[in-house]
Amino acid sequence: MENELVKRLAWSGLVAGLGVVASIAAQRTAAVIWRRVFGEEPPE
């Protein structure tokens, strides 16, 4: 049972970590596109 709990916690941590990485990557990609399209810094 303890092994199952560790697996669930590891899975939750992995999903959360990938969510953070995906969010940062999406924001940086959007900023690059914004700069190329509008030639200025994106609004904050």
Is 9 part of a structural domain of the chain?
Answer: no
Backbone dihedral angles phi then psi of residue 27, each to the nearest 5 degrees:
-65, -40
Q: What is the 3-state secondary structure (H, E, C) of 8-28?
A: HHHHHHHHHHHHHHHHHHHHH
What was the pLDDT predicted at 15?
Answer: 98
Cβ atoms of residues 31 and 42 within 8 Å = yes
Is 4 part of a structural domain of the chain?
Answer: no
How many domains would you assign to the chain?
Answer: 1
Range of the domain at 35: 19-44
Give the predicted TM-score (pTM) of the model. Answer: 0.76
Cβ atoms of residues 18 and 11 within 8 Å = no
Q: How far apart are CA 3 and CA 24, in angstroms?
A: 32
**pLDDT tens-digit series, residues 1-44:** 579 999 999 999 999 999 999 999 999 999 999 999 999 999 98
Polymer length in residues for the chain = 44
Is 3 part of a structural domain of the chain?
Answer: no
